[in-house]
Structure 1
Amino acid sequence: MATAAAADRVQRHTDEAVNRAIHAEMLERLVYFALHPERIEERLEQLDSEWDIERALEANASTFALGGLTLGFAVDRRWLALPVLVSGFLLQHAMQGWCPPLPVLRRLGFRTQREIDRERYALKALRGDFRQVEDAMERLQAVRAERGEPEQYWPQ
């Protein structure tokens, strides 16, 4: 899974204190929403519009590259070095999961899509969205037990 690999690379290349702070902030929010379940829907909508670290990097890189091109053609050719530099950063991020803007964006609180999804699924669990799945699994296990099927058996 490419998304999981990218998220892992970003977290591996982020200072551990920053990773812990991002995780702690999420836990604080989850505690709040466990105490205020009527606000979960609002938070889920906020998560739908939250920019992940990849989107932030892409938007910033595009802005700097286009700005460098514009300034390079309109003001001074030396500005053309900016899009080259930004492209190098994007390639470095694609290959290694790290580039110079990454630590700044992480400290600003930008999260990976996986980190955002963890909060989303935790909120849905608090809201009770997965109770039907749990009920279905219990019914399935009861049927398997009646048939004498092993618990590890999954039909193809």
Structure 2
Amino acid sequence: MELDLAKEQLPSTKSKVNDRTPDHINQQIERETEASVNYYKRQGEQEILARIKELDHEWDTERLLEVNMASIAFISSLLAVRANRKWAFLAGASSAVLIQQALQGWTPPIAIFRSMGVRTVAEINREKKALQNLLNKPE
């Protein structure tokens, strides 16, 4: 019973970032994605394929958070060993941010990334799927 209760309290990993992002930001990202797809409707196959390749390399919110927090943890750990042990608190804080993101789907860095237009994997994949559909449409 306790396990079931814990599952209900944790956000879905599929939508946790979108659920915690203000609607106006989600809508802006959606409008930009739609505008991109509409632009590529008027482009040739090679341009669409090039855009899909770009999307394969686009960094999503989770990757950006992981790299940033791991970098902070690594650098602050080095500073803790070399300069002052107080730097270890920063390493701990960056680890706490990652735990918070995994459990709640929200952290201050994610809010900043979203306001900058950084998309989730699902949002990137929606654009890719729409572009792939353009390639598969009969003329």
Compute the TM-score of the two structures, normalised by the length of structure 1.
0.77
Whether 1:46 and 2:54 are equivalent positions in the alignment is yes
* Alpha carbons 1:47, 1:116 under 8 Å: kept: yes
* Alpha carbons 1:33, 1:40 under 8 Å: kept: yes
Whether 1:104 and 2:95 are equivalent positions in the alignment is no
Which deviations, in whole Å up to 9, do the C-alpha atoms of 1:37-90 show, x marking residues without a partner?
A: 331011000001111111111100100000110111111111110011011111
Query: 1:105, 1:75 → 2: CA distance?
Result: 31
Show structure 1 runs of 5+ residues with no match. 132-156
Query: 1:66 aligns to what?
Result: 74
Query: 1:60, 1:15 → 2: CA distance?
Result: 22
1:29 to 1, 13, 36: 36
Superposed counterparts of 1:1-156, under 5 Å: 5-38=12-45, 39-128=47-136
Query: 1:100, 1:117 → 2: CA distance?
Result: 24
Q: Taking every aligned residue pair, what percent have the same amino acid on both sides? A: 35
Secondary structure of the 1:6 match is coil
Query: 1:36, 1:121 → 2: CA distance?
Result: 16
Show structure 2 runs of 5+ residues with no match. 1-11
Secondary structure of the 2:13 match is helix
Say which structure, 1 or 2, has more relative contact order (CA 8 Å, 6+ apart): 2
Compute the TM-score of the two structures, normalised by the length of structure 2.
0.86
Q: Which of these two proteins has the greater Rg computed from alpha carbons?
A: 1
Which deviations, in whole Å up to 9, do the C-alpha atoms of 1:10-36 show, x marking residues without a partner?
A: 001111111111111001101100011
Q: Which runs of 4+ in 1 moved over 3 A?
A: none
Which deviations, in whole Å up to 9, do the C-alpha atoms of 1:88-139 show, x marking residues without a partner?
A: 111111111111111111122211111011000000001117x7xxxxxxxx
Query: 1:25, 1:7 → 2: CA distance?
Result: 21
Query: 1:70, 1:18 → 2: CA distance?
Result: 37
Query: 1:87, 1:124 → 2: CA distance?
Result: 38
How many pairs does the alignment contain?
127
Query: 2:89, 2:83 → 1: CA distance?
Result: 13
